Structure 1
Amino acid sequence: MSDHATQRYRVRPRVWIGLVVYFAYVAVVFTVQQLSGIPYTEFGESGINLFLGAGLSLIVGAVLLAVTTTLLGWWRPALFDRHRSAHTWPIIAPIIMVVALVLNLSFTDWGAYDAAFFAASIVLLLVGFTEELTTRGLLLVGLRSRLPEVWVWFLTSALFGLMHLANALTGQAIGPTLQQVALAFGAGTIFYILRRVTGSLIWAMILHGLWDFSTFSVARGTPGPLTALGGVVEILAIVVALIGVAFVIRGADERTGVAETTRVS
């Protein structure tokens, strides 16, 4: 089978479709969170707050994204690249992020957990599916229909970061929110690298979900003396990612929406 296997779409990828999906997802999550009446800063106070404030919006978003992806016929290009990056060393950045994740879990005050909070925390794993499918999935497919890969990386990472501005509208101070936006841009670059090196969005979904689980868990209860270490290692991972991303972009040929035919080699 040729490298250029047929991509079949119900709807041909367009930049505007990817952007509509992105803004619709942000609007749905924001609306559901607003209807809960729970400020962002109070999500971690109890299991019910975490579920109603964050988990419920993720469940609704996941269902709507699954339906949308099916109607568009974009599952394959959203989840898989046609070719992996020729340069694999930038996967060091996701590996360092895994180290930061493990540190977060190691410094978590697990005694502060109850069954309800743990159950709500498990629902948070859905964030890996919803936010990755939105940004480095459907938005990426739309952008690849017209833009060079460098812009695909930059815009998916930037819009992923800007997605977190909504937290300032749900109770978080603007200073921490802007810091969160910047860190999310870096994390988005790490997830993009993981997609390019492995050829699949699934690993980025898993890492993203576990990362958010770890950041909520480490903030629960009494912080340990080395709690900040995970954040320091995360910044190191971002620095490595910003250096390595140029290498995984180089030579990328992932345009979508181009008429292709299946050939037998």
Structure 2
Amino acid sequence: MSDSTLPAPLRVRPRVWIGLAIFLAYAVLVFVVQQLTGIPYTALGDNGGTLFLGAGLSLIIGAVFLAITTTLLGWWRPALFDRAHSVRWPIFVPVLMAVALVINLLSTDWGAYDGAFFAASVVLLLVGFTEEMATRGLLLVGLRSRLSEGWVWFLTSALFALMHLMNALSGQDLVSTLQQVGFAFLGGTIFYILRRTTGTLIWAMILHGFWDFSTFAVGHGTPAPTAGISSILYLVTGIAGLAVVAFVIRGARERTVAPEAVTAA
């Protein structure tokens, strides 16, 4: 599997099937760990214990798996950094999402928090690393070995969204899950735009982690009436992302395998 012709430290030539295999392995690993805890998705926000065992534990294990896998493949650099950023102006889309995040935090009933729930909530920040590395990181590297950047955006966003179908198997009703899938596709597009406009996945990891933290925070206790503004703003932001994503795709030269190598293969 190793290829000595690849520049160090890229030990393994990126391929579509490798990216898909890592994505599926991560999704299955997280699902199995969550099922073994016996805590349904709808009970995650009950207290610090259910939140940590039902979500935090799987994120810790998933993070270790992805870190080891990335190191063995030597894919850290292409997973975290683009060769060049796209045009900058579409960055207003993730900025709007950050505004929605702040509204969530300002609307949170912090008096309902205790130390255990806050500690478990902090662990949720790991979702920014795990889900971004699994989709717009390693999966993206694999897809870029053969597919055009338009397909890279669509497939990383679509598979990220479909991953949330697991919540229906963990106790969430189907209607809410399907709505979550649609919103996740919009979110995936926003995170992809942030990667392209900054040239790195790191900012998307940070925004993603704090976004999930804020959504669990505002759902705990009795939120302020302003919480509804965040949901509306998120939807508007996602639609804006779909309207401008073509501008960050256009002109991308991010293939992880040279076109002549793909042709020869």
- Give the distance between the partners of 1:239 and 1:88, measured in 2 at CA: 18
**Contact residue 136 and residue 156 of structure 1 kept, 8 A:** yes
Which residue of 2 is the match for residue 249 of structure 1?
249
> Alpha-carbon deviations, 1:32-64, whole Å to 9, x = none?
000000000000000000000000000000001
Q: Tell me by how many angstroms 1:129 deviates.
A: 0.1
Which residue of 1 is the match for residue 23 of structure 2?
22
Show the 5 A alignment for 1:104-183.
104-183=104-183
Q: Structure 1 stretches (4+) deviating beyond 2 angstroms?
A: 257-260
Q: Tell me by how many angstroms 1:69 deviates.
A: 0.2
Q: Tell me by how many angstroms 1:231 deviates.
A: 0.5
**Contact residue 127 and residue 208 of structure 1 kept, 8 A:** yes
Q: What stretches of structure 2 of length at least 5 have no aligned partner? A: 1-6, 261-265
> Alpha-carbon deviations, 1:204-240, whole Å to 9, x = none?
0000000000000000001222221111110111111
TM-score (norm 2): 0.94
TM-score (norm 1): 0.94
Which residue of 2 is the match for residue 10 of structure 1?
11
Which residue of 2 is the match for residue 37 of structure 1?
38
- How has the CA–CA distance of structure 1 residues 226 and 259 changed in structure 2, closer, same or farther, with 3 Å as cutoff? closer
Seq. identity, %: 69
Q: Tell me by how many angstroms 1:246 deviates.
A: 0.2
> Alpha-carbon deviations, 1:157-216, whole Å to 9, x = none?
000000100000000000000000000000000000000000000000000000000000
- How has the CA–CA distance of structure 1 residues 174 and 65 changed in structure 2, closer, same or farther, with 3 Å as cutoff? same
Q: What stretches of structure 1 of length at least 5 have no aligned partner? A: 1-5, 261-265
Show the 5 A alignment for 1:95-106.
95-106=95-106
Query: Which residue identity is paired with 2:127?
Result: V
- Give the distance between the partners of 1:246 and 1:46, measured in 2 at CA: 42
Q: Secondary structure at the match of 2:258?
A: coil
Q: Which has the higher contact order (CA 8 A, sep 6+)?
A: 1
Show the 5 A alignment for 1:69-84.
69-84=70-85
Q: Secondary structure at the match of 1:121?
A: helix
- Give the distance between the partners of 1:71 and 1:222, measured in 2 at CA: 45
Query: Which residue identity is paired with 1:107?
Result: S
RMSD: 1.2
**Contact residue 7 and residue 77 of structure 1 kept, 8 A:** no
